[in-house]
Structure 1
């Protein structure tokens, strides 16, 4: 009996340990890795540091995060990867909500425009002087080279100025910005399907209704089968 009682005493401690491990694992998965891509932190006298201060953001490693009580506390508005000994840049998607990105003072040979695809809020980019602005100079309101760095400012909307249909999008669709040099086409209201050719709302009930009913029937049959296999005592 004493051993049994002792076993019950260990259960709460074991449960707490498991919960702590789960919480830590969850935190590790959600932690923004790009903010720790290189050592150091955002300094106050840098471009991103000054932007972060003026935007009332909070600094975490190499990131400036939006400091408010929204449902997305890990919203990156600034990323400073300057002087990080980077030779190439492949993936910045964790910072796709950034307004300013600094990649200066790195030995980067080339950066694909695809790296910035989907960065619709990006307004400032600082690069080594020999790297062109993402999407080319036609994708930015202003481009300047000073102090050995290239400054790209004011991302342009690649859709036409009217905000209506674009000649690059199919009929019954609307053009929207999708990062420097990119645009995306989305179906207008009441249109859907391939090239937005189908009119009317998607028939969710007709498509998923039979599937849901089939799932319920299968579940009931499995439950009945299992019940039959259980012999009464």
Structure 2
């Protein structure tokens, strides 16, 4: 199979045609085999690039895999093969998930407990970018913050992947969502998603804009602040 292989740590933006590139395209990489009775092999349809993948190739991520390794985390695809004890999936099922490594390849093996079935009508390419961004925001807002209907959610960096996921999850939870982004195009995108109030960092003061919105709506304050940007201290 073909796979994107990280052979050494370095700048992943260097072209693979450059001899100094840390990554190469392996044309004859071994196809992974089922490694347990509950494992599932997926033929990858789509995968996405996350900041964590970039950091892994640079060698600056908290988890440092042994070289060489296949980067890549979230993915979607079609079930290609199943273990003898797999009960949740069959060959041909559309699925998506994320893995610590390995999605930048044509095939990936995971346990059935790690997979999600892609609903009928959902685009597989879109599903390939779902797990990391939406999973991150779902854990943060639903499990940790326990966001409830009627609460006020403020999302910083709301036009990024994780931020957009947070906005949608917030609305699905019934929260009043305030989003912060920069630029008219991003502001319009957020408004089109039903955000209750959008602050444009390019020409507005965040504190003043949020306070005015809360005052007009007679709201007491922010219940949950979600910051996926994490500026350096």
Give the TM-score, by structure 1 length.
0.25
Structure with a larger share of its residues in helix = 1
Larger Rg: 1
The structure, 1 or 2, with the larger RCO (C-alpha pairs under 8 Å, 6+ apart) is 2
